[in-house]
Amino acid sequence: MASLAASTRSYITTVGAVNNDSISNLTTASSTLSTSLLRHRMRLGRYEDWYLGNPRGRWTDPAKKAFESANKILREELSSDDYNQIFLNNYCSIKDVEESLKKAKEKYNNKPEASRIHRWLFNCSERIVYYGSIFDVFVQHHPEYVSLAWGTFKFLFVAVLSYEELLAKISKAVSQIADVLPRTELHAILYPTDRMQEAVSMVYAKIIEFSITAIRWYKKNGFRRVISSIISPFSISFKDIIDEISERSRTVDQLANAANKAETRDVHTDLVGMRERVHQIMEMISMIHASQILQNEIILNLRDRESLCLNSQLEGIRDILMLQYTPLADQSLSHCVSMRNRRKRRAPIQIPTSEVLKLKQWLSDPSSSLLLAQGQGVRTSSSDFAVDFVNAVREKGYPIIWAFPSPIREEEERLSTESILRSLILQALALIPNAVSEGASPLRTQHFRNITSPDEWINILNHCLALIPRVFVVIDMALMQPAVYSQGIDGRSFHLVDFIQRISEMAHARPGGQLKVLIVSWQFEKTTLLDSNEIFGKEQIATDAGRRVDRLMRRPKYKAVVRRRNEDYTKTFKSTMDAVDKY
């Protein structure tokens, strides 16, 4: 047993080392995964500025400067009425410009010689929506910028409505600019970066510059306009602005293209990082799975070793118990069953029906208690009843232990209270082998060494029975009386009343109840000189109908009637066990 314990300790030490290695491997894998995540974040940070907006960013200065400059120039160049038409009237939108173009087309629609201007007006009205991709970017944060842009366009088309040549040139220029405008609004939404905002603002500024230049050109007097058209025609004057707008529009497209590439690169990097993480996670899962398999094997091995240790403990306890004379329960039960069957063939004894009802009532009560079953007229009726009771309980599968007389007469001389208690303890250990591992103080072999009194044996019996949720104990006084008598001869002061008292205390002190102790005896008060009412109260039944039945059983006719009724009696007696099922 010592070698088994040493082997178990060595095995546990090895298991601890294996577990430490597993934990170390998992920690290393987790650290590698964290490092991979950090590297991935660092890679992601190199390109995200190209396509992710700055939450604290704002529109840059070009649009603001263009707005302020246009406001100043228009205030200087236009009359108060014209200026107020742009700035002080209601908010201007694309609908106002479309309405102005509609009126211009209606005016020149019926003039055959105006086909050229009509064509440019049509192109302009078709393309004016392209400006919305630039202006709508500013709607949320700077609606005044948008109103200025649409307001200057509206002013131009209204102001030059009567000047056919000038209207055609302005319409042509507006159409040409619209052709080079990108889908700026989509780019600005997809990639709201500082670079994109700067580029969109520059396009807006150049459109405002075109509007202001056109208004200035219009505001020249007739003579100056003629001279300007000779020196620098309208189309040449605006060519540089149109080229710059085209260039800056391409810049917006190029930025969007670069942002798309940067985002694609980060997505690729992200996917590579995800593959790395998935690979590392799969490795961790494999390690965890392998660790779980190892731990399961360790647990099974530990359970096997624990079972070996428990069995070793139990064997050690049994060996200690059997060092001294201990009655064997199965042997005594077989002997009593054999004697009962022999007597039943000669003269079957049945307990009265009223006593069966008392027994059923006692069994149906879930509280722990003692019951005295005593013979009144037939000396062996209580022993036969005890055998029937044990068999009925065992058929139901309930835990039960017993103390019955031994078949060997010579062994009665070796009987003692301690030997009977050892027999009961052996039976209890067979019912609950985990008594050596469960409870606040599991049983060990040292608990059974150097025991000097029946009280100590009763304490161990109580400890064992406390681990069984429901248990029956049957004790035949025909066994206890000679055992206590032999102790009295040896000079040890442990009497029958002491034994019954301790058993009663054990039952009533049991938490949760369900310890049923059956004491069987022939005429209890006469044979033990104890007061049955004081000990058992009303919990008493008779196992026969008295001496009268004993005399009647000598008559063949009466005996034949009893034999015929014996089968029904057996069923009735066994049915009393059904009362136990209710709790």
Q: Give CA separation, 514 vs 151, 189, 299, 508, in Å.
A: 99, 79, 35, 10
* Distance in angstroms (rounded) separating the CA atoms of residues 120 and 173: 9
Pick the CATH number of 370-407+420-431+455-573 from 3.40.710, 3.40.50, 3.90.1750, 3.90.1170: 3.40.50
Question: What is the structure's pLDDT at 98?
Answer: 85
Which residues, at least 6 apart from 168, have a Cβ–Cβ distance to it below 8 Å? Answer: 116, 117, 120, 121
Which residues, at least 6 apart from 439, have a Cβ–Cβ distance to it below 8 Å? Answer: 463, 466, 467
**Contact present, 170 and 242 (Cβ < 8 Å):** no
Strand-pair partners of 371:
518
State the DSSP string of 240-309.
Answer: HHHHHHHHHHHHHHHHHHHHHHHHHHHHHHHHHHHHHHHHHHHHHHHHHHHHHHHHHHHHHHHHHHHHHH
What count of other Cβ atoms lies within 10 Å of the Cβ of residue 455?
Answer: 13
User: What's at 515, amino acid-wise?
Assistant: L
Question: What is the structure's pLDDT at 229?
Answer: 44
**Contact present, 542 and 351 (Cβ < 8 Å):** yes
* Distance in angstroms (rounded) separating the CA atoms of residues 483 and 498: 13
What count of other Cβ atoms lies within 10 Å of the Cβ of residue 505?
Answer: 12
* Distance in angstroms (rounded) separating the CA atoms of residues 484 and 500: 11
**Contact present, 511 and 468 (Cβ < 8 Å):** no
* Distance in angstroms (rounded) separating the CA atoms of residues 406 and 326: 11
* Distance in angstroms (rounded) separating the CA atoms of residues 428 and 403: 12
Measured CA angle at 459 (ends 455, 464), to 5 deg: 145
DSSP 231: H
SS3 content of the chain, % helix, strand, coil (to 5): 75, 5, 20
Identify the CA nearest to 192 among candidates 52, 58, 56, 46: 52
Identify the CA nearest to 148 among candidates 100, 198, 211: 211
Question: What is the structure's pLDDT at 224?
Answer: 45
* Distance in angstroms (rounded) separating the CA atoms of residues 81 and 225: 22
State the DSSP string of 20-73.
Answer: HHHHHHHHHHHHHHHHHHHHHHHHHHTTGGGTS--TT----HHHHHHHHHHHHH
Q: Where are the domains of the chain?
A: 2-49+271-315, 54-262, 370-407+420-431+455-573
Both tokens of 321, joined, read 């118990």
* Distance in angstroms (rounded) separating the CA atoms of residues 108 and 114: 6
Mean pLDDT per block of 10 residues along the chain (583 residues) reads: 51 51 54 55 64 61 76 78 69 84 80 70 84 80 84 83 78 84 76 84 85 79 45 60 86 90 89 90 91 90 81 80 82 91 76 88 91 89 93 92 81 77 91 72 78 87 88 92 64 75 88 87 87 91 78 62 64 78 64
* Distance in angstroms (rounded) separating the CA atoms of residues 117 and 346: 140
Identify the CA nearest to 164 among candidates 121, 132, 202, 200: 121
What count of other Cβ atoms lies within 10 Å of the Cβ of residue 427?
Answer: 21
Both tokens of 331, joined, read 């042997």
* Distance in angstroms (rounded) separating the CA atoms of residues 341 and 90: 120
* Distance in angstroms (rounded) separating the CA atoms of residues 361 and 354: 11
Question: What is the structure's pLDDT at 391?
Answer: 93
Which residues, at least 6 apart from 171, have a Cβ–Cβ distance to it below 8 Å? Answer: 104, 117, 120, 121, 123, 124, 157
3 state DSSP class of 177:
helix
Question: What pTM was estimated for this model as a whole?
Answer: 0.55
Identify the CA nearest to 307 among candidates 437, 403, 411: 437
